[in-house]
């Protein structure tokens, strides 16, 4: 693949991932959190379900249940936690906490699936944990949003392992479409039962929802999966560290968020940790991390 095109597509997909935090926070002025993210993924899921309508669908109730569980964890839990976190912490902090996902995958994979990882990957996990501690200001008086941010990373990491375990039996685009649709519908249901619904329809609010559904969901997914299929997944996944960078940058540009020095310092350590966890130095020695179950 042409290196220039690869670099452009990496920037496009990671900037869409990262900037969705700031755009989502703008949307909270018009929608309650769960309702906003519910609209985002229900619309995206419906559009993608129409697009993959001629591809083979799951053939049994058990297979649909597996996609449903992935949808609950990957879309409903992850995105619900993210948008709830944005009520009390900045978009930059939320993106940094959420993208701890690759670090947690190493831990869960070792404990529950018996996966083996190299020294560099474990060094990345330790570096990332230190980075999180510094990002939070080296204290334990966390905001409620901090816990939601960590919850999004935990849910994402579990969903990643389930995709690694079950994903081969599904068409990747069918799985992506229906896990988004199921997760989006669950979020809509939670939005009208677990919180006081808020919806203000204006040209700006509609534009925000459409941007999140089309650009930050469908286009982002399509670009990322294309990159994974074109190159080595382990090397490509290393560029995920750019997403929280764009999260912090877009929070500053769109929301005027003031980023404290410890967020920069901790963020750099987290990016370095994610890089070490994902980077594949040798095709013969690689054990690529399953990070293809991405939203956002």
Q: What is the pLDDT of residues 37-76, one digit of tens each?
A: 999 999 999 999 999 999 999 989 999 999 999 999 989 9
Residue 181 lies in a domain: yes
* Inside any domain, residue 293: no
Number of domains comprising the chain = 1
235-285: pLDDT as tens digits: 666 677 677 778 878 888 888 877 677 777 877 887 787 778 766 544 444
The alpha carbon of residue 114 and the mean position of all alpha carbons in its chain are separated, in whole angstroms, by 24
In a domain, 22, yes or no: yes
Is 285 within the bounds of a domain?
Answer: no
Task: Tell me the β-bridge partners of 31.
Answer: 199
Name the burial class of residue 60, with classes exposed (0-12), middle (13-18) and buried (19+) by CB atoms within 10 angstroms of its CB: exposed
> Is residue 246 in a domain?
yes
In the block, tokens 């650009």 appear at: 215
pLDDT in tens, 186-233: 999 999 998 889 999 999 999 999 999 999 998 988 887 788 667 655
Name the pTM for this structure. 0.80
> Where residue 120 falls among pLDDT bands split at 50, 70, 90?
confident
List all residues 6 or more positions away from 296 whose beta carbon is below 8 Å from its beta carbon. Answer: 16, 17, 20, 78, 79, 82, 216, 217, 220
Q: Is 296 domain-assigned? A: no
Tokens of 177: 């479409």
**Cα separation, 276 vs 120, whole angstroms:** 6
Answer whether residue 201 is part of any domain. yes
How far, in Å, CA of 198 to CA of 206, rounded? 14
Range of the domain at 186: 3-278
Q: Please, how many CA atoms are within 13 Å of residue 39, restricted to the half-sphere of its CB? A: 23
Q: Is 291 part of any domain?
A: no
Average pLDDT for residues 9-30, to the nearest whole number?
90
Lowest mean pLDDT among 31-35, 47-51, 99-103: 99-103
Handedness of CA 204, 225, 84, 266 (dihedral sign): negative
CA 80/CA 184 separation, integer angstroms? 10
């Amino acid at each position: 693949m042409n290196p220039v095109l690869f670099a452009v597509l990496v920037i496009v997909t990671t900037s869409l991932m990262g900037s969705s935090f700031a755009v989502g926070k703008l949307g909270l002025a018009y929608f309650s959190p769960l309702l906003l993210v519910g609209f985002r993924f229900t619309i995206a899921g419906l559009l993608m379900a129409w697009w993959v309508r001629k591809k083979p669908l799951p053939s049994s109730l058990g297979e649909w249940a597996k996609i449903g569980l992935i949808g609950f964890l990957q879309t409903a839990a992850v995105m619900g936690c993210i948008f709830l976190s944005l009520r009390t912490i900045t978009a930059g902090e939320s993106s940094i906490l959420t993208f701890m996902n690759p670090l947690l995958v190493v831990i869960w994979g070792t404990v529950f699936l018996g996966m083996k990882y190299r020294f560099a990957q474990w060094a990345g996990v330790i570096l990332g944990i230190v980075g999180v501690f510094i990002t939070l200001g080296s204290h334990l008086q966390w905001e409620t949003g901090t816990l939601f941010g960590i919850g999004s990373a935990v849910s994402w990491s579990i969903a990643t392992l389930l995709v690694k375990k079950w994903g081969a039996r599904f068409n990747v685009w069918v799985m992506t479409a229906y896990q988004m649709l199921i997760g989006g519908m669950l979020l809509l249901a939670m939005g009208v039962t677990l919180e006081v619904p808020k919806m203000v329809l204006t040209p700006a609010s509609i534009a925000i929802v459409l941007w999140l559904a089309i650009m930050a969901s469908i286009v982002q997914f399509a670009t990322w999966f294309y990159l994974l299929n074109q190159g080595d997944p382990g090397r490509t996944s290393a560029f995920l560290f750019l997403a929280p960078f764009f999260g912090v940058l877009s929070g500053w540009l769109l929301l005027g968020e003031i980023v404290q020095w410890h967020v920069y310092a901790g963020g750099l350590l987290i990016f370095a940790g994610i890089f070490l966890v994902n980077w594949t130095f040798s095709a013969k020695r690689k054990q690529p991390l399953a990070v293809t179950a991405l939203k956002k």
